[in-house]
Amino acid sequence: MGYVIAMAGKGGTGKTTVAALIVRILKDNKLGSILAIDADPNSNLADALGIKVKASIGEILDEICVHPEKVPAGMPKERFIEYEVQTAVSEGVGFDCLTMGRPEGPGCYCYVNNVLRDVLGKLIKDYDFVIIDNEAGLEHLSRRTTRSADALVVVSDASKVGLKAAERIIALAKELKIQTKKNLLIINRFNNNLDKEKLEGVEAEYLGNLAQDAGIEKISLNGGSLMELSRDALVLTALNKIGEKIWQRN
């Protein structure tokens, strides 16, 4: 079974950047096969990884629900959905990427969502590591992707508002009955030591902070990929130091 790392955090915290950096470290350290799933409707993970998206799962499901006649005669709908999901996986150098896309439109999608979850469950088993970049509301994680994760990594800024959002995200995971083996917190783009009193109420293990990195800012401004970031970048060094608990199987 693939080791699932679920990323979450409110908008603007750099959650997708941290998710891409984790993919980068797993790839560089040759820790195993990797599937990156972009489950945030505001899909940016593929861009951060330098991957061109073939098709999103949202587009595929819309097409099947609106035009069921496109399912080949004699082929079970479950098998057709599985085939379409597999063809939507984009191959990178040392990892694969799958984009979930925007929420579905009007209509009954309960059936295809249940099938999709089963299909993704099979797909996850084919990889050593699966990194899921979620929206703050954990919509895909609760309903369309998987109901469990080995590690829930919440990315926050150091503000009171940001940490309150992190607290709510972890509480939401419990409400949605998402099973997580460990809840972890990273403070992103913060150069100082964090007052531990600010973490009261956040039911997660605080791993540390990642400082602002000029290399990432430059790549972002130029629309590049984080795979271009220098191997000795300070943010990669810092994440390597604090991140072992993220991808460590225990």
Structure confidence at residue 141 as a pLDDT band (50, 70, 90): low
Which residue would you say has higher pLDDT here, 117 or 30? 30
Residue 45 near residue 19 (C-beta atoms within 8 A): yes
The range of the structural domain enclosing residue 114 comes to 3-247
pLDDT of residue 235: 94
pLDDT in tens, 82-111: 898 899 999 999 999 999 876 555 554 566
Structure confidence at residue 54 as a pLDDT band (50, 70, 90): confident
Which residues in 80-147 belong to E strands, given as ranges? 90-91, 96-99, 129-134
Residue 2 near residue 127 (C-beta atoms within 8 A): yes
User: Residue 4 pLDDT more than 90?
Assistant: yes
Name the pTM for this structure.
0.90
Which pair of structure tokens corresponds to residue 217? 């800012």
Which pair of structure tokens corresponds to residue 184? 């972890």
The CATH number of the domain where 186 resides is what? 3.40.50.300
Residues 6+ apart with CB under 8 A from 21: 226, 229, 235, 236, 239
Q: Quote the DSSP letter at residue 228.
A: G
- Average pLDDT for the chain: 87
Give the pLDDT mean for 227-246.
93
pLDDT of residue 201: 86
Tokens 């979850």 found at: 117
pLDDT of residue 53: 87
pLDDT of residue 49: 95
Give the pLDDT mean for 176-199.
89
pLDDT of residue 108: 47
Measured between alpha carbons, how far is 140 from 149 in angstroms, rounded to an integer? 12
User: Residue 71 pLDDT more than 70?
Assistant: yes
pLDDT of residue 198: 87
pLDDT of residue 137: 64
Which pair of structure tokens corresponds to residue 41? 């409707």
Provide the domain count of the chain.
1
